[in-house]
Every structure is written in structure tokens, then in C-alpha cells.
Amino acid sequence: MNLTEIGESRINGYLYVLARSLKTFLPAEVARDAVREIESHVRERVAAADGAPNERAALERILDELGPPLRVAQAYSTERVIDEAVTTGRVVPVLRATWHLAVSTSAGFFAALGVLVGYLIGFAFVAIALLEPIFPNNVGLWVKDSGEIPWRLGAQFPAPPGEHVVGGYSVIPLSLFAGLLILVVTYRCTRGFLAWWRNRGVS
């Protein structure tokens, strides 16, 4: 199908909105490359179309199948950051990809919530290990004065009445090991989720 001036204007308008949308998610240079890639795809579809019943209807059908510019921009940018996260495995891209999914999908939101909880618990254990030598009477395993069975682990300022800390510096390696283990497991689970998300449509 050969486009008239009106048809070219319709495509250019779509690409303009797409470019503006992509720039809100991606760096300018990456957004320009994305627009060129999507424009090439659109023009291939247009060239292969028969133009029935008329140019306008054929163009709208092609653009409707592609999707609204904002949705296309969101999907494209999410795909890019997920690819970067899975390929490189670096922490910042992994967190960025998780954030993209969290703000755009319900599954991504719950996954990001799980990631947040995992990292918070991991960092809490690491914090206990770091604070124990500084505040030995306020950080560690807490027991009630009436018994010797620890009932919680953490930091308390000031120390609550009727309770005291046990375990001493042995809490440091245990908390550090537990914290680092939780952080590593959370990170690996996050990468696994992102890899599954990227490949979920591949049969």
C-alpha cells in the first residue's frame, strides 16, 4: 500500500507521540533508536497491506494492532530494562527492571513487594551484626528476666524493663551470615523472576 500525504501524516503523528512517550522511560539516544526500529516495523506492515477497504481504515487497523503509543513505549522500555537485567546480572539494572514491572503490572507489583521484604529482612540482620559491638547492651537476643529462652532478636533503645540481652558477640557472625544469605537468595529469586518474565511468551 502506497501512502498519501494524509497517511504519512497519520504515521508521523503516531511516531511523534511514541517518541515523546519513550523519552519518559529511556535515554534520548535509546529512545531514538527505538522509534526507528518501530517505524521500520510499521512501514513494513504498511507496505504489505492491501489498503482495503481504504487507506485510513487499513492504517488504523495496523496502528490498533500495534497498540497506543504510550502502551507501546511502556512495553518496549520494560523489555529493554529486563533484557539488560537478565543479561548483565548487575544489581542496579535488576532493581530498575523490578521497579518497571511493579509500576506497570500487578504480578510485578507483588514480586517487587516480595523483593522489598527480602532485602529489608536481609539488611536488618546485617545491621544487627554491625550494631552489636557498638551497643552490646541494646542489640542481640532478648530474654525476659524471668527466663532464659530468647524470644526475639533485634535492637532496642533503651533496653525495655524486665529484659536483657544474651549471646554476646556470637550474635555477630550468625546475624551476618543470615543477612547475607537472605540478600543473596532474594537477589537470585529476583533474577529468576525477571528471566521467567522475559521468556514467558516463548514457547
Q: Tell me the pLDDT tens digit for each residue of 36-86.
A: 988 898 888 888 877 667 888 888 888 888 888 888 888 888 888 898 898
Q: Which domain holds residue 60?
A: 1-67
In a domain, 78, yes or no: no
Is residue 202 pLDDT above 50, yes or no?
no
Is 201's pLDDT higher than 80?
A: no
Same domain? 125 vs 190: yes
Does one domain contain both 56 and 100? no
Same-domain status, 62 and 123: no
Looking at the structure of the chain, the number of domains it has is 2
Q: Which amino acid is at 97?
A: A
Residue at 4 is within a domain: yes
Q: Are residues 93 and 62 in the same domain?
A: no
Locate 17 and state its grid cell: 507521540
Whether residue 114 lies inside any domain: the answer is yes
Q: Which helix (H) or strand (E) holds 165?
A: strand 163-166
Residue 51: the pLDDT is: 67
Same domain assignment for residues 41 and 98? no
Asked whether residue 178 carries a pLDDT value surpassing 90, the answer given is yes
pLDDT at 185 over 90: yes
pLDDT digits 0-9 by tens, 118-167:
999 999 999 999 999 999 888 888 888 777 788 788 888 888 888 888 88
Kindly state whether residue 73 falls inside one of the protein's structural domains: no
Between CA 199 and CA 187 the distance in angstroms is: 18
In a domain, 177, yes or no: yes
Co-location of 40 and 107 in the same domain: no
The verdict on 34 and 95 lying in the same domain is: no
Q: Scan for cell 517505524, then name that residue.
A: 39
Classify residue 145: in a domain, yes or no.
yes
Confidence of residue 203 (pLDDT cuts 50, 70, 90): very low
203 lies in the same domain as 148: yes
Residues 26, 112 within the same domain: no
Cα–Cα–Cα angle for 75, 77, 81, nearest 5°? 120
pLDDT of residue 113: 94
* β-pair partners for 155: 139
pLDDT at 81: 86
Q: Let me know if residue 100 belongs to a domain.
A: yes
Q: Could you tell me the pTM of the whole model?
A: 0.70
